[in-house]
Structure 1
């Protein structure tokens, strides 16, 4: 089985990014949606070149996190910030996802927010066949949709994992992950990747010691 990918999300700071350049991180996430971690296209345009300085064998891919953006918003942002992946966190349709891929030449990851103890609807994915390059599961948050800092019931992963395997795309798990629980997730559910934001922060600020510990737990 391939080594799981790691995404560190919610980066805003040049110094934090520079302190990470010897770590085997696969994706760096920048939040354009409303959030305390929200960034501008100009900020991200200045951060993306740092990814080219990475010490590991591969340069991390840049991921922009959006909730129900318009094509015009995406066009404006992508003109300044050359993202590799657009991660869609809202109610974006399969047609919208395909159009983003076609128009901008980026990969598209769709996020599904999982409510604990909810019935799993396999049918909500059928229409996305062929439209996605990755699927991300996050804990439902009534205000922001995701980024709640809480885990969901991981037993709900299985049907989504079946679908992504059929599609040949990665399944990435987010929601309440941190250095002390990510090993448990990987051991019992074997997702293709993990995504962390608040779980590697101290008082709302990215903490390089926690980032290092998280990456080591995933990549060991």
Structure 2
């Protein structure tokens, strides 16, 4: 089994980001959507250059997290913050995803929020063929859509995994992951990547010891 990728999401602090540069992290997420972890385009523009100093052959890719943005909003932010990936967390259409890829030359990750007991068999993905560079599953949250800090029933992963394999794109799992449960997910369901935010925080702030423990569990 190939080694899973790691995404640490919700970075806001320069010193925390600098403290991570010796860890094998694949993606760093910056939240532009409404959230307590939200950053501005100017803040992200100050943080992204730190990724160039990463202590490994391949630097992490920068990911911007958005919920139902307009093309104009994306244009404004991308002019200031040179993101590698735009992660779309709302009800963005396949056409919108294609437009973002074409207009801005970025990769596009689409997030699906998984409701408990509601296995959609991946049927909602048919129209996204060729429009995505990655699919991310998160736990449904009625207020924000995702980012709840809760896990979903991982048995619901299978149809989405089948679809991403057919498409040749990675499947990334988020939702309630932390150093103590990510090993079970990887062992039993073999996703291509994992995404964590609140699970590596203490009192709402990123905790480098928890980040290190999480990365070590994934990459060991």
- What's the TM-score once normalised by structure 1's chain length? 0.99
Q: Distance in 1 between matches of 2:116 and 2:186?
A: 19
Q: Secondary structure at the match of 2:53?
A: coil
The equivalences for 1:25-36 within 5 A come to 25-36=25-36
Superposed displacement of residue 121, structure 1: 4.0
Q: Distance in 1 between matches of 2:122 and 2:81?
A: 34
Residues 85-132 of structure 1, C-alpha deviations (whole Å, 9 max, x = no match): 000000000000000000000000000000011132422000000000
Q: Secondary structure at the match of 2:128?
A: coil
Residues 53-109 of structure 1, C-alpha deviations (whole Å, 9 max, x = no match): 000121000000000000000000000000000000000000000000000000000
The equivalences for 1:40-189 within 5 A come to 40-189=40-189
Matched length: 220
Aligned residue number for residue 198 of structure 1: 198
1:38 and 2:38 are equivalent in the alignment: yes
Residues 122-180 of structure 1, C-alpha deviations (whole Å, 9 max, x = no match): 22000000000000000000001100000000000000000000000000000000000
1:18 and 2:12 are equivalent in the alignment: no
Superposed displacement of residue 4, structure 1: 0.3
Q: Distance in 2 between matches of 1:219 and 1:56?
A: 14
Q: Distance in 2 between matches of 1:64 and 1:146?
A: 15
Aligned residue number for residue 214 of structure 2: 214
Q: Secondary structure at the match of 2:180?
A: coil
Q: Secondary structure at the match of 1:52?
A: helix
Q: Where in structure 2 are there 5+ consecutive unaligned residues?
A: none
Q: Secondary structure at the match of 1:127?
A: helix
Q: Distance in 1 between matches of 2:129 and 2:135?
A: 11
